[in-house]
Amino acid sequence: MCGIAGMIDFTQDLRTQEQIFKTMQQAIIRRGPDQNGMHITEHEAFLHTRLAVIDPEYGRQPMQYTDGTEIYTIIYNGELYNTSELREELKKQGCHFETSSDTEVLLKSYAVYGAECVNLLNGIFAFAIWEQNKQRLFLARDRIGVKPLFYHLTDQHIIFGSELKAILAHPSVPHEIDINGVSQVLLFAPGRTSGCGVFKNMHEILPAHYAYYTKNNKLETHCYWQLEAQEHTENFEQTVEHVKFLITDAIKRQLVSDVPIGTFLSGGLDSSIISSVASREFAKQGRVLHTFSVDYLDNDKYFQKSKFQPNSDPAFIRNMQEYLKSNHHWTVIDTPQLASALRDAVEARDLPGMADVDASLLVFCKEIKNHVTVALSGECADELFGGYPWYRDPEIRMAYGFPWSQSTDYRLSFAKPEIAEILKQRNDVNSAYQATLDRTALLSGESGTEKRMREMMKLNLDWFMQTLLDRKDRMSMWNALEVRVPFCDYRIAQYLYNIPWEFKEYKGYEKGLLREAMKDYLPEEVLWRKKSPYPKTHNPNYLMTVTKLLEDRLQNPEAPILQIIRREALEQLLYGNDNIQFYGQLMTKPQTIAYFYQLDYWLETYQIKINL
């Protein structure tokens, strides 16, 4: 995994701006501390920081290839999981290879197939290719949106990068937000609208899209893949076998690495499946899998059972560790360490985020990196197999609006009156929700439960899952750790989109189909364990700590957050006894306080001008 950034400007000679480009490159050096490279011509600058995973010696970037009269230059962040198949096809087309890297395969795929190459890729990627003679930039992003790619567009140039910080490092890019940015950080956070970079004139290449930028200074974008509604023709037994193949194949493909690799292990269904498949593959090679878990100091003392978290993880983790005979590593986080990481989490994401859910993952990934460079994680199974409570509770399922965030009115209560009024008139949340429903692919005449389940899956893939993928990428790459997500294989997403709900809810269990398909890989206790979310601290010291952090910020009468947020609302949050769900059960009172602390820190640290 890597960091990429660059600029195309047909109005000036970019060779005079090398120092600026070095600053941009340095901004994302944490994504790729192993190597870095730069390619600058009159109107093009490509910057790369590399985390060497495949062919460390010969996979350096930017990489060039001359084919006929065209010179192609690529910078690439990602991994291809069908590299060997693509390489063989390209050999048939007359291509010769000098490295074993997937970068060379990707570059030559574009040279042979042009933009159509994206349809051949199975992987996670964001990449840019410059065609020197055509003076044309090509940008592309993977189908599900695992790897990020932002850009800042003006009448004169495009500046792009893996992270916002790389673009913001260019002096021509203002650190400014308008009412749209305020809407994002107040009404949508910790998520954000796909395609929106929050900062003014900051955008994002959408998942499953590619784009061309040419001398007319226009960016033409194209969608190359989307979920399709089709009749499901396989019976339950065939469906089980098909799911089993897709999942095991995705996991096995993602175990390819020239550096140490391990797996996250929460003791839940998804990470346990990945760890079990990986462990068996390792055993064939006489290797022992490294597994990694996180917990919080004194959580055994303070854990409180709830509807959403009926039991804690450690007992199930120990069960899986014994079952796998893995080389297991624990990370135990204390409150001061967690609170301190809230600031680093903002700088990793370039935005306020999921508070301690972000911060704990950032700390966890730092510890994992001490042992491996690549890790596999179980994100996105719940979105595809219907594991969340809002899929299974008919009342929640049918409620209008994003099911994980039914808090728009509460969020608006924090805004200063004049801002709240503008946001009410804009009606951004409802508009975004309805737009997602409108682009949901349905069968002709489809209605009732099956229609709603397609809508739910589309809502989750386009919104909730993107928030989790943002979190996973930024917190891991802040520590130069590559995290792969096998359940995000687009083949799994397309197949699951058309499976009837009664199959997915086999035996009345959340993700019953997944449990049945993978039952040979898990002990009974873990196989039928009720879903439990990402673990968070239950220590009351955390609430006291984040309360003090926000109090200290508010001691400053010029605190930047007070430009958009009412002091009285923050004081009510700090000292009231409200039952708060700012972002469903993931962000209750402690996390909401921490979020507003992060928001103020972000506005100050990034020196953001608010222009309404």
221 band by pLDDT with thresholds 50, 70 and 90: very high
pLDDT of 577 reads 80
Question: Is the pLDDT confidence value at 299 over 90?
Answer: no
Q: Could you identify the residue written with the tokens 């673990």?
A: 535
- Pairing type for strands 2-9 and 157-161 reads antiparallel
Identify which has the larger pLDDT, 578 or 182: 182
Q: What is the distance between the alpha carbons of residues 62 and 40, in angstroms, rounded to a whole number? A: 10
Question: Is the pLDDT confidence value at 305 over 90?
Answer: no
pLDDT of 309 reads 62
Question: Is the pLDDT confidence value at 389 over 60?
Answer: yes
pLDDT digits (tens, 9 = 90+) for 231-260: 999 999 999 999 999 999 999 999 998 899
In contact, 126 and 142? CB cutoff 8 Å:
yes
The overall pTM is greater than 0.85: yes
pLDDT of 536 reads 76
Question: Is the pLDDT confidence value at 591 over 90?
Answer: yes
Question: Is the pLDDT confidence value at 395 over 60?
Answer: yes
Residues 6+ apart with CB under 8 A from 468: 379, 380
Summarize the confidence of residues 410-434 as an average pLDDT.
97
Residue 62, preceding peptide bond in cis (omega within 30° of 0): yes
pLDDT of 85 reads 97
Summarize the confidence of residues 197-203 as an average pLDDT.
97
DSSP conformation class of 530:
P
pLDDT of 535 reads 74
pLDDT of 586 reads 85
Residues 6+ apart with CB under 8 A from 425: none
Handedness of CA 348, 74, 119, 153 (dihedral sign): positive
Task: Give the chain's radius of gyration (CA, Å).
Answer: 24
Summarize the confidence of residues 394-404 as an average pLDDT.
90
pLDDT of 91 reads 97
Window from 182-191, 303-312, 388-397 with minimum mean pLDDT: 303-312
What is the H or E stretch that residue 609 is in?
A: strand 609-610
530 band by pLDDT with thresholds 50, 70 and 90: confident
pLDDT of 338 reads 97
Joined together, the tokens standing for residue 266 give 């929460």
Residues with a known catalytic role: 2
Residues 6+ apart with CB under 8 A from 603: 560, 561, 563, 610
Q: Could you identify the residue written with the tokens 């969608």?
A: 223
Q: What is the distance between the alpha carbons of residues 90 and 202, in angstroms, rounded to a whole number? A: 36
Window from 53-57, 305-309, 317-321 with minimum mean pLDDT: 305-309
- Domains of the chain, with CATH numbers? 2-181+194-223 (3.60.20.10), 236-527 (3.40.50.620)
pLDDT of 340 reads 97
Window from 76-85, 307-316, 394-403 with minimum mean pLDDT: 307-316
Counting residues of the chain whose pLDDT is more than 90, the rounded percentage is: 88
539 band by pLDDT with thresholds 50, 70 and 90: confident
Question: Is the pLDDT confidence value at 57 over 80?
Answer: no
- Residues pairing with 585 in the sheet: 583
In contact, 353 and 471? CB cutoff 8 Å:
yes
Summarize the confidence of residues 100-128 as an average pLDDT.
97
pLDDT digits (tens, 9 = 90+) for 122-134: 999 999 999 999 9
Counting Cβ atoms within 10 Å, is residue 549 exposed (0-12), middle (13-18) or buried (19+)?
buried
Question: Is the pLDDT confidence value at 450 over 60?
Answer: yes
Report the chain's mean pLDDT, rounded to a whole number: 95
pLDDT digits (tens, 9 = 90+) for 368-388: 999 999 999 999 999 999 999
Question: Is the pLDDT confidence value at 308 over 60?
Answer: no
311 band by pLDDT with thresholds 50, 70 and 90: low
Of residues 411, 419, 351, the one with CA closest to residue 178: 419
Query: Any alpha helices (H) in 285-377, and if so which ranges?
Result: 299-302, 314-324, 335-349, 356-368
Summarize the confidence of residues 284-312 as an average pLDDT.
80
CA atoms within 13 A on the CB side of 153: 17
pLDDT of 304 reads 66
pLDDT of 608 reads 98
Question: Is the pLDDT confidence value at 302 over 80?
Answer: no
Summarize the confidence of residues 507-528 as an average pLDDT.
96
pLDDT of 310 reads 61
Whole-Å CA distances, 45 to 139, 155, 282? 14, 18, 42
- Residues pairing with 151 in the sheet: 160, 203
